[in-house]
Chains A and B, each alone.
Chain A
Amino acid sequence: MHPIRLVALSLLAALPPAASAEPKPAAVAAGPLTIANAWSRETAAGQSAGGGFVTITNRGAAADRLLAASSPAAAEVQIHRMSMEGGVMRMRQMTDGLAIPAAATVTLRPGSYHLMLVGLTAPLKRGASVPVELRFERAGRVRVPFRVEPVTATGATGGAHGGH
């Protein structure tokens, strides 16, 4: 083998794997529900709340409902809806939970629904995994690891990054 190529190859071998090559966090199944792409944004010291995003697919014939969530990383986890009205951002707690219709996918993502981790016990560090328990009306309690992404992320690792 050509020495330069050998050097190049050994350099490549020494490089850490690219982010896109990392395995995506495994989806979690709970009855007819599949819960995937669970992620959160890193937070700074002094920032007492953070957001959580996740995709919930219901393959069942019956509707379910995300009633509540909790995490040892926060005093409270709330379900929120964000909306833009006339250029004003509004965020509201969904105290009745979030409907997961039969044979449908509901995505909690920036610009729509999110989980709000209120009263963080420590800042969410990029690369860490935050355990969150989701409680569904039918599927019951499901523990889902949320991967902490950079503050600039717009999706889970392996998903779409960047803006428009």
Chain B
Amino acid sequence: MAGTDRRLRGLRIGLWALVGLAAAGLGVLAMTGRLAPAAPAVESYGAAIGGPFELVDPAGRTVTDRSLRGRPFAIFFGFTRCPDVCPTTLSRLAQLRSKLGADGDAFDIVFVSVDPGHDSPADIGAYVDLFDTPILGLTGSETQIAAAAKAYHVYYGKVDQPGGDYTIDHSATVFLMGRRGQFVATIDMEEGDKPALAKLRRLIADG
């Protein structure tokens, strides 16, 4: 019976979607360290996200997790040929920064390209200069980028296109990191301005 089959199929898809959601939820919990309730929250976050990395700025200078210490920062991974989520996210960070007024200068915005095949350090520099606010653009060798992405639990992967070109799937989460390099919070695309601004204020005050 076609009707019953369709209903069963719908049910099956629905159940698998639930399983997927649950798995994704567990993944996020594991990533943010919320599955470790015994440890103090901030410390367990710090252990989970962030860590040693070595990348290159647009002028070719080495930038490391240690050299970023002293100021809180918001870090986001993407690539310049990403026409949608990358400019949208960086623009959003620029807007949130301007909404914080003078406090907006108290944290840095860091953009890491995961596409060394297309983005040279100078390309990243020209790209971040398009935005109305200072953004530190970083990239590096395949190995350096892989290490930085691993430190932040950022997924990225090349996907071949029909015409022989490729695009890159990547995590679109913004990580807020404190002045000692510790993880403070994340901001994602769907989140409203109010919680996002509250997190940035917390980052500036306590991070």
Contact = CB atoms under 8 A, between A and B. Distances in A.
Interface in B62-106: 80-85, 87-88, 90-92, 94-95
Contacts of A111: 84-85, 88, 189
Contact of A89 (B81, B120, B172, B192): B172
Contacts of B24: 86-87
A47 B127 CA distance: 7
A45 interface: yes
B132 A91 contact: no
B83 A116 contact: yes
A47 B126 contact: yes
Given A41-B83, A89-B172, A90-B169, A163 B91 contact: yes
B123 A49 contact: no
B129 interface: yes
B83 A93 contact: no
B127 A51 contact: no
B178 to A, nearest CB: 21
Contact of B161 (A43, A45, A93, A152): A93
B95 A91 contact: no
B163 A76 contact: yes
Contact of A114 (B84, B132, B165, B170): B84
A51 B84 contact: yes
Given A44-B126, A47-B80, A87 B85 contact: no
Nearest to A86: B24
Contact of B87 (A45, A91, A151): A151
A84 B82 CA distance: 13
Chain A's interface size range is: 35 or more
Interface in B123-158: 123, 126-127, 129-132, 155
Nearest to B126: A44
Interface string A132-164: 000000000000000000111010000000111
Contact of A118 (B127, B130, B165, B192): B165
A120 to B, nearest CB: 10
B43 interface: no
B1 to A, nearest CB: 29
Contacts of B40: none
B188 A87 contact: yes
A42 interface: yes
A110 interface: yes
B162 interface: yes
A47 B119 CA distance: 8
A50 B83 contact: yes
Contact of B192 (A84, A90, A151, A164): A164
Given A48-B118, A87-B171, A87-B172, A82 B127 contact: no
A90 B170 CA distance: 7
A10 interface: no
A114 B172 contact: no
Contacts of B92: 163
The 6 residue pairs across chains A and B that have the minimum distance between CB atoms: A51-B83, A46-B123, A44-B126, A152-B91, A49-B81, A151-B130
Given A87-B28, A90-B169, 10 more contacts: A42-B130, A44-B123, A47-B127, A50-B83, A51-B83, A86-B27, A93-B161, A93-B163, A111-B84, A152-B94
5 contacts: A41-B87, A51-B87, A82-B85, A89-B170, A114-B83
